[in-house]
Copies of this chain bind each other. A is one copy, B any other.
Amino acid sequence: MTELKILALSGSLRAGSYNTALLRAARRIGPGGMTIELYSGLGELPLYSQDLDTGTPPEAVTALRRHIAEADGLLIATPEHNSSVPAALKNAIDWASTGSSPLSGKPIAMAGASPGAFGSIRAQQALRQILAAIGSDVVVKPEVTVFRSHERFDDDGKLTDDFTASLLSDLLASLDRTIRSKRRIPPLTRT
């Protein structure tokens, strides 16, 4: 198998989210041999409760866990809410860290966009700590912090900033290398 399946999770539920727009851009930018599927089910998850985390959890939980388990890696784009990870993203992570715990050992690349000057860097730092506690295999570099995000997309949510596109491309290449090296899959030969 040389084609990698990446599941993309947006930490924002907002329809016009820059983070979701960043994931859409990633689908166009990703290296050959990688398909990126944007997951849209985070808003359907109930708030995590151990009382619901039984052998037969809510359907949205089972779907999330299955999608993560079937993916070769994840790409997460997160906004920053109160200097940390948005509740919707933490909720998805908490659900995917119990039961079959598909996040354990999973290669993950992260990015983030925010209209402010720091591009969700504190949320990403908090996310790194959380994923480290779970034992995910998080790509270290590059850090993709899309600050002043409103200046980097057009009115249709299309990424227009070349530097961001280049960083995102490097991030995806790094995720690709992480997965292939870990699974001993040879790099795709570019012809």
- Chain B residues positioned under 8 Å from A86 (CB to CB): 48, 90, 94
Q: A191 at interface (Cβ–Cβ under 8 A)?
A: no
Interface locus among A126-134, A137-145, A180-188: A126-134
| A31-39, A64-72, A77-85, A157-165: which lies at the interface | A77-85
Tell whether, in the assembled complex, residue B48 and residue A43 are in contact, meaning their CB atoms are under 8 Å apart: no
* A92: nearest chain-B partner, CB-CB: B87
A87 and chain B: residue at smallest CB distance: B91
The answer on a CB contact under 8 Å between A134 and B82 is: yes
Could you say which residues of chain B place their CB within 8 Å of the CB of A94? 81-82, 86-87
CB nearest to A52 among chain B residues: B13
Question: With A and B bound together, what is the CA distance between A98 and B103 in angstroms?
Answer: 31
CB-contact partner of A83 in B51, B81, B87, B129, under 8 A: B129
A90 and B85 within 8 A (CB): yes
Report how many residues on chain A are interfacial, defined by Cβ distance under 8 Å: 31
Judge whether A88 is part of the interface by a CB distance below 8 angstroms.
yes
A-B contact pairs, 26 of them (CB 8 A): A12-B50, A13-B47, A13-B48, A14-B51, A45-B47, A47-B47, A47-B87, A47-B88, A47-B91, A48-B81, A48-B86, A48-B87, A48-B88, A49-B88, A81-B97, A82-B93, A82-B97, A82-B134, A83-B129, A83-B130, A83-B132, A83-B133, A86-B94, A87-B87, A87-B91, A126-B129
